Amino acid sequence: MKITKLRLFKRLIMSGLAIIFALSWVEGRPQKKEAKPPMFKHDYKEVNGVRLHYATAGKGKLIMFVHGFPEFWYEWKNQLAEFSRDHQAVAPDMRGYNLSSKPAEVEKYQVKYLVEDLRALAESLGHKKFILVAHDWGGAVAWAFAIAHPEYLEKLVIINAPHPGVFQRELRENPDQQKASQYMLMFRSPQAEQILSNNNYATLVNIVLGEGLKKGHFNEEDRKAYLEAWSQPGALTGGLNYYRAARVGPPTGEGDKEPANFAAGLPSLTVKVPTLVIWGEKDTALLTGNLVGLDKYVPDLTIKRIPDGTHWVIHEEPALINGYIREFIGSK
C-alpha cells in the first residue's frame, strides 16, 4: 500500500515537472505575433482645381481604389489592409464626397473631370503607372480612364460597373435593365436629396447597409461612419450630381433618342489594358446582361462571376474579392 502511494506521488511530481517544463519552453520560444491591421494615413492633395481627401497605407507601386455611389474611401478598408502589404494602397474620396471638395456646378461632375482627378492624384503621389480598382460609379470613371489613358495603367479591375458601350446598349435594348435603372431618373430629380436624407438617411441605410447589418457584413461602427460621410455638407448633392451631369439612365419617352454614354467624347471605347471584371450576379441594379459582348470592347479580359454576390459584393465577400485581385495582379 505504501509502495503504491509512493509511486503515485512520484508520478504526480513528474507530471507537474513535465507541465512546468513544457510551459517554460513555450514561454521561452519566440512567439508568433498576429499581424496588426495597418494604420491608415489620411491626407489631402490639391489637384485639378479640387482638394481630394484620401486614405493610404503601405509603400511600393501604386494601387488605387475608387468608390461608387453612395460610398466613400471607407468602402475599401479591407482592400487597403490587404494590398498595403506590398503596394502603396490609396482610396480617395471622389470629388463631391465626404471630405473632398464639392463644386457647386453640376457640369463639374462630368466624367472628363473625374478622370483627370484620378490622373492628377496618381501623379501627385509620384506614380505614372499604377493599378486601378473600382466599383459602381468609380468603375464608370475607371472604364473611361482606361480608354483615355491606357499608358498610365498596368492593370484594371472593375467590380459591378458596366462598360459605357455595353451599358448604352442595355439601356437602349434590354427592358429588364431599363426597369432596373429607373432609380437613376429619381436620382437626377430635384427631389432626390430630400427622399434619400429623410429619417436620418433611412433609404440609403437600407440600400447600402440593410442586409449587411443583418448578416454581419457591417456593424454599428460602419453605420456610424456612413452616416457621418453622408451628413457632410453638400455630400449627398455631390454624389447625385454624377447622375445629373452624365444624364445617365433609361429612356424617358420625352424625346431622348439615345441613352447617355458616360464616356462620350472619347474617340474609341476599346480598353487596351489587361482587365479583370468581378460581378456579383444578384445585382438588382446592374444586370448580368452587362457582361454580354464585353469582350468586343476589352480584348484582354478576365471575368469572375460570384453567383450569390449582390451589388455590394465587396462587403459580402472581401476575402474572395482580394483573392481574385491578387491572382490577377500577381504578388510582389
Domain ranges of the chain: 41-329
**Confidence (pLDDT) at 38:** 63
**Confidence (pLDDT) at 255:** 65
**Confidence (pLDDT) at 262:** 83
Clarify whether 163 is annotated catalytic: no
Clarify whether 243 is annotated catalytic: yes
CATH class as words, domain 41-329: alpha beta
Catalytic pick from 53, 67, 87, 311?
Answer: 311
**Confidence (pLDDT) at 84:** 97
**Confidence (pLDDT) at 256:** 66
**Confidence (pLDDT) at 331:** 55
Catalytic pick from 93, 117, 136, 283?
Answer: 136
Helix (H, G, I), strand (E, B) or coil at 46: strand
Clarify whether 256 is annotated catalytic: no
Those residues with Cβ within 8 angstroms of residue 170's Cβ, 6 or more apart along the chain or in another chain: 162, 177, 287, 289, 290
Catalytic pick from 74, 97, 226, 243?
Answer: 243
Contact 132, 118 (CB under 8 A): yes
Residue numbers in the chain where pLDDT is lower than 70: 1-38, 255-257, 331-332
**Confidence (pLDDT) at 3:** 44
Instruction: With CA atoms as reference, report the closest residue to 74 among 49, 42, 103, 96.
Output: 42
In tens, the pLDDT along 221-261 reads: 999 999 999 999 999 999 999 999 999 999 987 766 678 88
Distance CA(60)–CA(51), nearest Å, equals 24
**Confidence (pLDDT) at 19:** 38
